[in-house]
Amino acid sequence: MAPSAEILHTGKLPLELLQRLLADYTGTDERLVAGPRVGEDVAVVDMGDRYMVIKTDPITFVTDEIGWYAVHVNANDIATSGATPRWMLAAILLPEATTTPAMVEAIFAQLHGACADLGIILVGGHTEVTYGLNRPIVVGVMVGEVAREQLLTTAGARVGDRVLLVKGVPIEATAIIAHEKADDLRRRGYDAAFIERAQGFLRDPGISVVGPAQVAARHAGTHAMHDPTEGGLATGLHELALAAGAGLRLDADRVPILPEGQRLCDEYGLDPLGAIASGALIVAVDPTTSEALIEAYRRSAVPCADIGELVPASEGITMVCGTTRCPLPRFDSDEITRIF
C-alpha cells in the first residue's frame, strides 16, 4: 500500500466516495424503480401489480440481542418506503473461539421472536463460524411489498416540506452505550436504575419505527421518510437532502434529545446529533398538512416535533442554534465508534 493512501475510519463510507462508487459500478434495467443512490435505503423492483422492496443491513455494533436488532433495523427501512415487510434472510457470522450451540440458538430465537412480532417470515440465509471475528455479526436481507401508488422514496422530499422527527434521538446509541459500557458507568457513579432504564431503550421507546412509518404512510401529505442510523440524525438529514436534490435547514433547538441519551453523550464527549439513532423517524411532509400529521402522532401517544425545512439546494445543509446559522455537521464515522 502506498504511504500516502488514505485509511478510512470505522463507519459509513464518506458520502462523496459512495456516490462515485454507485455511479461507476452499478447498473439498472426497466424494472428497477429505485436503485442504488446515496440516501435511498431500499431497492424497488416492479413486479407487475405491485412493487417488491428489498433492504440489507448488518448489525456490527452490538452483541446482546443481535438477532432482534437485525430484524427491526431492516424492517424499519422497508416501512419507510410505505411497504410492508414480509420475508427475511439472515447471514450469521460467528466468532471462531467463543461460539457455542447455545449462542447460535439464542440468535435464531431472537430472529424468530422479532419476525413473529412483525408478521415476517424468516425464509433462509447462511450461518457459519468465521475466521478472524471476535464477536457475532448478523447481516439481514428484508423483502417487502407495496401497492404501486403507495411507494415512497427518500428522493420524493420536496423543497418547502417541513421536516418532522418522530420519537427522539439518540435511541439506539443510548441502549448500546448502556449495554456495552455498563461496568464503566458503574465505576463512574451511575446507579443501577439509570443504567437499566437506558439499556431498555432497545424496546422503550424502542428502535422499531414500523408503526410510526405506517402512520406517516397513510397521511396524504407525506412525501418521504428516512430513518437515521449510523452517523445519527445529522447524517440522516444530509442523506435526505442529497437524495432529494435539496438543501435543508435544521432548527437545532427543536430537536428532542432524550435526557438519558444527552447524559451519556455528555459523559463520553459525544455529539448526540451524530450518534446512531435507530428508533427515530424523519418525515418530509407538505407544510399545509404537517400539523395534521403531528396531531395524528399525538393521538397515538407518539412524540413528534417539527425540526426544520427542505430549502433550495443553493442554501446548503445548515442548522440554526439560537440566532446562529452554520453548516450542519456530517458524521461519516458514528460518534459511538470513538468509545469502542
pLDDT in tens, 146-185: 999 999 999 999 999 999 999 999 999 999 999 999 999 9
Its sign, for the CA torsion 290, 296, 297, 301, is: positive
Q: What is the pLDDT of residue 274?
A: 97
Considering the entire predicted model, what is its pTM?
Answer: 0.91
Q: What is the pLDDT of residue 245?
A: 94
CA–CA separation, 233 vs 167, rounded Å? Answer: 12
Supply the DSSP string of 162-188, one letter for each residue: EEEEES-BTHHHHHHHHHHTHHHHHHT
**Confidence check: pLDDT of 35 > 90:** no
Q: Is the pLDDT of residue 1 over 60?
A: no
Residue 60: the pLDDT is: 85
- pLDDT computed for residue 39 by the predictor: 76
Q: Which uninterrupted H or E stretch holds 340?
A: none
**Which residue ranges form the domains of the chain, and what is each CATH number?**
41-150 (3.30.1330.10), 154-339 (3.90.650.10)
